[in-house]
Amino acid sequence: MSSYLYLRGEKTRSFAVDVHPVVLLNMADHYMRRTEHQPHRVIGTLLGRVNVDGTVEITESFPVPHSETMDEVAVDIEYHKTMYELSRRVSTDEVIGWYATGDGGEPDENSVLIHEFYCREVASGIVPVHLLLSMAPNNSGNGDPSAKKTTSVYRKSSTDFVRAYISCGLRIGDQVLNTEFQPVQVGVISGIPEAVGYEALLDTCRHVERSDLRCVSSELDNLKSSLEQLLRLLEKVESYTQQVLQGTRKGDISVGRYISDTLSMIPQLDSTSIEKLFGDQLRDVLMILYLDKLIWANAKLAEKFLMVAAGES
C-alpha cells in the first residue's frame, strides 16, 4: 500500500487581501516606538472581515508585546485577549491574522510558531493572514499609478513594502510534516475620508526636506489648498461640459449623471449667505488658532515659573 505525498494549503482557492492605510500607519508607528530592549521586529493582531466575494479586508490592528530568541518565541496572550475584548465593544471586526515588521526578507521559523497561535484565535472558516511590512529605508513602496477608482472606494495594486501570506501545510495523509508561507495578493484600499487624509500625508512628505522638518500646514493653508483644488476641478468639469455641448467630445451618460447628482447636493444659497457662512467658518478657524497660541504661551509661562520656584527652593 503506497502513500501519496502532496501539498495542500488551508484554502486552495485564490483570494486577495485588502488593507486600509490606517493599519499600515499603525504598524509603522508601532515599529518606530519600540525601545532598544525590544526585538528587532514588532508584531500585532489584525482585525477585519471576510467579504462576500471572499476578499479579506483588514480594517484595524493593535500591537501585542512579545519576546523572541533564535530558539523560542513568547507572545503575551492575555494582552491580546484583553485588547480584542475591548475592540469587540465598539466593533464587530474579528481576528483575521497578525502582522510583523521586517527588513524585506521572508518569514522565519519564529513566524511559523506565531502563526500557529493565531490559527487557534481566528473564527471557524477564516484563514489567518500574516501581513509583513518592510521597514527597509530604500523601500519606496510605489504602487501602480493606474489605481482603480470608484465613487466610494480607492484601490491600489499590490505594493513592494507590504506582503501577505497564508500558511500551507506539507502533509503525508493526515500527518503534517511542515508548514510554510504561501504569498497571496495584497492591495491598499480606502474610503474617501481615508483617501483624503492619505493624500494629505503624502503631500506633506513631498514638500518636507530632510534638513527642514516643517510643521503640518495650518488650518488656513489647508483651507486655501482645498479651495484651489476645488477651482481646478470646476474648471475641468466646465471644460468637459463645453466640449460635449460643442460636439467635439462624446458624452458619457454615467459622467453626466454623476455631475448632475453632485450639483443637486449643493444648497441653493445666494452670494450673501455663502459669504456669511464662509466668514463664520473663517472666524472659527482664527479663534482656534488664537486659543492654540494662547495655550502654548501659558504652558511656556508655567514652565518658567516652575524653574524659578525650583531654583529658589
CB 182 within 8 A of CB 166: yes
- CA dist 63 and 164 (Å) reads 18
Q: 5-207, superfamily in CATH?
A: Cytidine Deaminase, domain 2 (3.40.140.10)
Closest CA to 278 of 234, 229, 206, 226: 226
The angle that helices 21-32 and 192-207 make with each other, rounded to 10 degrees, is 50
CB 56 within 8 A of CB 95: no
> Strands (DSSP E) along 88-161, which ranges?
94-102, 129-134, 153-156
Count of all residues that appear for the chain in the document: 313
Predicted model pTM = 0.57
Question: What residue segments make up the domains of the chain, in order of their start?
Answer: 5-207, 220-266, 268-313
> Strands (DSSP E) along the chain, which ranges?
5-9, 16-19, 43-50, 56-64, 66-68, 73-75, 94-102, 129-134, 153-156, 162-172, 175-191
Q: Which three cell numbers stand for residue 223?
A: 483651507
Q: Is 242 exposed, middle or buried (0-12, 13-18, 19+ CB in 10 A)?
A: exposed
Number of other CB atoms surrounding residue 47 within 10 Å? 22
Number of other CB atoms surrounding residue 185 within 10 Å? 14
CB 60 within 8 A of CB 41: no
CB 65 within 8 A of CB 9: no
Q: pLDDT 10s digit of each residue in the chain, 313 long?
A: 333 333 333 443 467 899 988 898 899 888 888 877 776 788 999 999 998 888 899 999 999 988 888 778 889 999 999 999 998 888 889 999 999 987 766 788 888 889 989 988 998 888 899 999 888 765 444 444 334 333 334 444 445 678 888 887 666 666 656 677 888 888 888 777 777 777 777 766 666 544 444 444 566 677 788 888 889 989 999 999 999 999 899 888 888 898 888 888 887 778 788 888 888 888 888 888 888 888 888 888 887 777 777 766 6
Closest CA to 101 of 40, 59, 184, 57: 40
Map grid coordinates 493572514 to a residue: 129
Angle at 223 between CA 220 and CA 227, to 5 degrees: 140
What is the SS3 string spanning 56-76? EEEEEEEEECEEECCCCEEEC
Q: What is the dihedral of CA 274, 275, 279, 285, to 10 degrees?
A: 50
Helix (H, G, I), strand (E, B) or coil at 9: strand
DSSP string for 238-276: HHHHHHHHHTSS---HHHHHHHHHHHHTS----HHHHHH
Q: Which three cell numbers stand for residue 232?
A: 481646478
